[in-house]
Structure 1
Amino acid sequence: MRRILVLILLAATVFAVAACSSSGSPGREDIERARDSYSKGFYLEAEKDYERYLQVEPQGKFRKEAWDRLAEIAVSIKGDLDRAVVLLEAMYLELGDDPDTAWKIMFQLGEVYSELGNNPKAIECFEKCLIHAQGNPEHTYKTQLRMARLYRNMGSYDLVAGTLENCADSAADDEAKARCLYELAQSYTFISSWSQASKTLDSLLRLKHISDETRALAIFLQADIAENDRDYAKTRELLESILHTYPNPKVVETRLANLPEVVPEPLPLVPPRQ
């Protein structure tokens, strides 16, 4: 009987210690309160508690969650991009040892710098993304695609072409390759390099395993090229072929309605027989 009582007391002590260790974490209340406030839309209160959690829990297991939420509140809720830069750079210093996490942080930081109009810093972030993306074709493809669009906004079309060619070469599947080629063809049209755009689209449409939507986007761009060449019959033929596969059929219908009518050339006059 005495032995049973001792065992009961020992078990009670173990449970009490476990309860104290789990609830006695310095930032436990902060993280729980932050989550509750965030779920209810009280973002400023959540922000304060996430910050407090980071201060009191230097080795806490929820630190990534706190950093993520703080960055999200800064960007999406408060629109405070300067604060977002500070948060993401600090987050990168702490969590950048993991390639996947480092890529995500740097990609987000690149987007923030781009929104701030600081293109050199944005490019620097995306270059770091490429380093962290080694061995991950999906991350490499997304980074190169984003860098190319940024170069295009900067007017650096030589860098656009080089980046998108690398993007297509390193793509893991036909769909990713097609997206890179589509962006390349579109970029060529922006500088009126119509023949290069047409060749790129031909390469894209030879790919077998691409979605109907991607194929339709490429054909729509072919129609733009044909219309620029004033080949309205070909333009109409291309547009009609994607009436049911283009993401926004109304756009195709409007283009068709506004196309000039193709007037057939008159037959040559045959001189009467003598």
Structure 2
Amino acid sequence: MQRILVLILLAATVLAVAACSSPSSPGQEDIERARDSYSKGFYLEAEKDYERYLQVEPQGEFRKEAWDRLAEIAVSIKGDYDRAVVLLEAMYLELGGDPDTAWKIMFQLGEVYSELGNTSKAIEAFEKCLDQAMGNPEHTYKTQLRMARLYRSMGSYDLVAATLENCADSAADDEAKAKCLYELAQSYTFISSWSQAEKALSTLLGLKNISDETRSLAVFLEADIAENDRDYAKAKELLESILHTYPNPKVVETRLANLPEVVPEPLPLVPPKQ
């Protein structure tokens, strides 16, 4: 009797182990194999298993992971932007109900369309991003910055200015506002609108809670404007003030070395006393 009980217990143990080792869902082996291949750099193998997982697990809990990895492989590994468009649009249809996820998908889609040179589609994607960014100032400002750069590449400087002014007005903090104003000032310099650029930089440098890097970038742009005005003394003073805070001090050193000599103005002649 005791021997029979031991055999029953052994059989139950074997069944329990077998149950634990078997996949809990049809695509479990696929997702685990995909992760393993991805971690080892076998991206094509990972791609096949992620695709299979999506096919066999229509309600699977790891579908977002699979979509993300497939889009990443298409863009970063294979450089297949046409495939990335298809993947991201399908991903948006499935996961776009969550605003945060929808924003990320659309932002990536906008970047992919930009790489393809399809500016109109890129703008369309970023406009959808703005809709999804409602109530999220960080997402809003990042989208507006990206849209402004696209408008600038198109030469639409009226749209650049309007987008960046709105970006600065709606920014949640000084650092974000400063980045919008910096882009605005830089854009004005591209069309030689120096007074407008100086106005944007003046507002930027009046902000209190901004990083040293952002402040030094603004001062560097101020030095550009001073040099354009041939005010080399001011340009020199501005560049020297950021020599230790600019992201790449060598650039500042080179600019200083290449500035024209500041020749002091001759003193006016004083007529001799009679």
TM-score relative to the length of structure 1: 0.94
The structural deviation recorded for 1:272 is: 1.4
Counterpart of 2:20, as a letter, is A
Distance 2:92 2:267 in 1: 72
Give the 5 Å matches for 1:66-145: 66-145=66-145
Give the 5 Å matches for 1:140-159: 140-159=140-159
Distance 2:257 2:67 in 1: 52
Structure 1 stretches of at least 4 aligned residues deviating more than 6 Å after TM superposition: 11-14
Distance 1:16 1:78 in 2: 41
- Correspondence for 2:43: 43
Give the 5 Å matches for 1:1-274: 19=20, 23-274=23-274
Cα RMSD for the two superposed structures: 2.0
Distance 1:234 1:14 in 2: 83
1:127-182 Cα offsets, whole Å, 9 max, x none, are 00001111111101100010001110111100000000110011000000000000
- Point out where structure 2 has 5 or more consecutive residues left out of the alignment: none
Distance 2:157 2:204 in 1: 20
Counterpart of 2:156, as a letter, is S
Aligned residues: 270
1:1-41 Cα offsets, whole Å, 9 max, x none, are 9xxx8xx89x9799579638x72411111111111111111
The structural deviation recorded for 1:266 is: 1.1
Counterpart of 2:178, as a letter, is A
1:85-112 Cα offsets, whole Å, 9 max, x none, are 0000000000000000000000000000
The secondary structure found in structure 1 opposite 2:41 is coil
Counterpart of 1:121, as a letter, is K
Distance 1:79 1:89 in 2: 17
Distance 1:250 1:190 in 2: 24
Distance 1:151 1:32 in 2: 43
Distance 1:173 1:209 in 2: 8
The secondary structure found in structure 2 opposite 1:23 is coil
The secondary structure found in structure 1 opposite 2:26 is coil
Distance 1:18 1:181 in 2: 61
Distance 1:207 1:13 in 2: 69
**Amino-acid identity (%):** 87
Distance 2:84 2:32 in 1: 23
- Point out where structure 1 has 5 or more consecutive residues left out of the alignment: none
- Bigger drift between 260-269 and 155-164 goes to 260-269
Counterpart of 1:19, as a letter, is C
Distance 2:35 2:198 in 1: 52
